[in-house]
């Protein structure tokens, strides 16, 4: 029994590049190029008309991200279509955005013919073998997110270990009061404040008050405290 042809729609606005891809696709007996679109509007129209199995989608068409907009629209209404994006440059944000939309893979436009054919077939047969570069990018991004999450959880755990007095001292430090002012406000000796600050630095494993204050600003510590006290957050005017 003859295998079903893989229907491919090519979306590429550069005539010479499109010709090269059409020749490559035509040389494989299992692939049928059902059409070529030169802009985002044509891409969505031809996708609806031909119901291709795979779309080779250029990111930059009539506008910088027209291919991504067409991708989003196509996958919203025809989620079974596999889309492999084509690009000349590997901008992390663009590539990640494309994968968030649901594309199967991406190709640099200068890839050899066998890589292009294999990418089409891998997409069709649900074998999304990621380009090694994007696999490395995703691995690095997961590591960055994991590190950030671990750091966030660690710091929030430290905050839960602070005494009420230490929290009060930190709140005053974050509001810009110096040690002498805090001593007067809390009616304690300088040595007491020094001991409390040293305890705070030890818990956060930091060398200076500025480092702790900067960290707590990133965590929106004052806003959290105000919410717990039922007060509106007061952000500095700037």
- The tens digit of pLDDT for each residue in 68-96 reads 999 999 999 999 999 999 988 666 677 77
- pLDDT over 90, % of the chain: 45
Based on the number of CB atoms within 10 Å of its own CB, is 96 exposed (0-12), middle (13-18) or buried (19 or more)?
middle
> Could you tell me the two tokens for 232?
């509106």
65 versus 142: the higher-pLDDT residue is 65
Domains and CATH numbers, the chain: 6-129 (3.40.50.2300), 161-229 (1.10.10.10)
Q: Is 142 a residue whose pLDDT tops 60? A: no
Grouping H, G, I as helix, E, B as strand and the rest as coil, residue 160 is: helix
This prediction's pTM: 0.57
Any idea which of 129-143, 153-167, 179-193 has the lowest mean pLDDT? 129-143
CA–CA separation, 54 and 33 (whole Å)? 10
How many helices (H) and strands (E) would you count in the chain?
Answer: 11, 5
Read off the DSSP letter of residue 85: E
The angle that helices 15-26 and 113-124 make with each other, rounded to 10 degrees, is 70
184-201 pLDDT per residue, tens = 999 999 899 999 999 999
Please give the helix or strand (H or E) that residue 13 lies within, else none. none
Angle between helices 209-218 and 221-229 (to 10 degrees): 70
* pLDDT tens per residue across span 24-55: 999 999 999 999 999 999 999 999 999 999 99
Cα torsion 19, 74, 132, 12 to 10°: value is 20
DSSP-H helix ranges across 59-178: 66-77, 92-101, 113-124, 132-160, 164-174
Strand partners, 205: none
Q: How confident is the model at residue 227 (pLDDT cuts 50, 70, 90)?
A: low
The tokens of 236 are what? 């500095």
Kindly state the average pLDDT of the residues 7-29.
95
pLDDT at 199: 93
Confidence of residue 156 (pLDDT cuts 50, 70, 90): confident
CB within 8 A of 179, min separation 6: which ones?
190, 193, 194, 197
What is the average per-residue pLDDT within 200-206?
A: 90
Q: What is the structure's pLDDT at 173? A: 92
Q: What is the dihedral of CA 12, 15, 16, 20, to 10 degrees?
A: 50
Q: What is the pLDDT of residue 233?
A: 44
Residue with tokens 């991504």: 68
Name the phi and psi angles at 53, rounded to 5.
Answer: -80, -40
> What burial class does residue 204 get, using C-beta atoms within 10 Å of its C-beta: 0-12 exposed, 13-18 middle, 19+ buried?
buried
pLDDT of residue 169 exceeding 60 = yes
């Amino acid at each position: 029994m003859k295998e079903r042809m893989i229907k491919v729609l090519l979306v590429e606005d550069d005539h010479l590049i499109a010709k090269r891809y059409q020749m490559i696709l035509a040389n494989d007996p299992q692939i049928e190029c059902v059409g070529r679109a030169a802009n985002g509007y044509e891409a969505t129209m031809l996708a609806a008309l031909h119901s291709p199995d795979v779309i080779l989608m250029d990111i930059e068409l009539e506008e910088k991200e027209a291919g991504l907009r067409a991708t989003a629209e196509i996958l919203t209404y025809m989620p079974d279509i596999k889309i492999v994006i084509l690009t000349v440059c590997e901008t992390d944000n663009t590539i990640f955005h494309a994968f968030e939309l649901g594309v199967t893979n991406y190709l640099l436009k200068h890839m050899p013919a066998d890589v292009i054919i294999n990418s089409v077939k891998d997409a069709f047969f649900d074998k999304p073998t990621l380009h090694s570069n994007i696999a490395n990018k995703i691995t690095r991004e997961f590591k960055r997110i994991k590190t950030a999450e671990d750091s966030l959880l660690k710091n929030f755990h430290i905050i839960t270990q602070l005494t009420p007095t230490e929290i009060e001292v930190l709140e005053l430090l974050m509001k810009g009061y110096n040690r002498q002012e805090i001593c007067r406000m809390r009616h304690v000796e300088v040595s007491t404040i020094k001991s409390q600050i040293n305890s705070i630095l030890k818990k956060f494993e930091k060398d200076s008050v500025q480092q702790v204050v900067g960290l707590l600003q990133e965590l929106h510590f004052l806003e959290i405290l105000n919410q717990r006290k039922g007060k509106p957050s007061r952000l500095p005017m700037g």
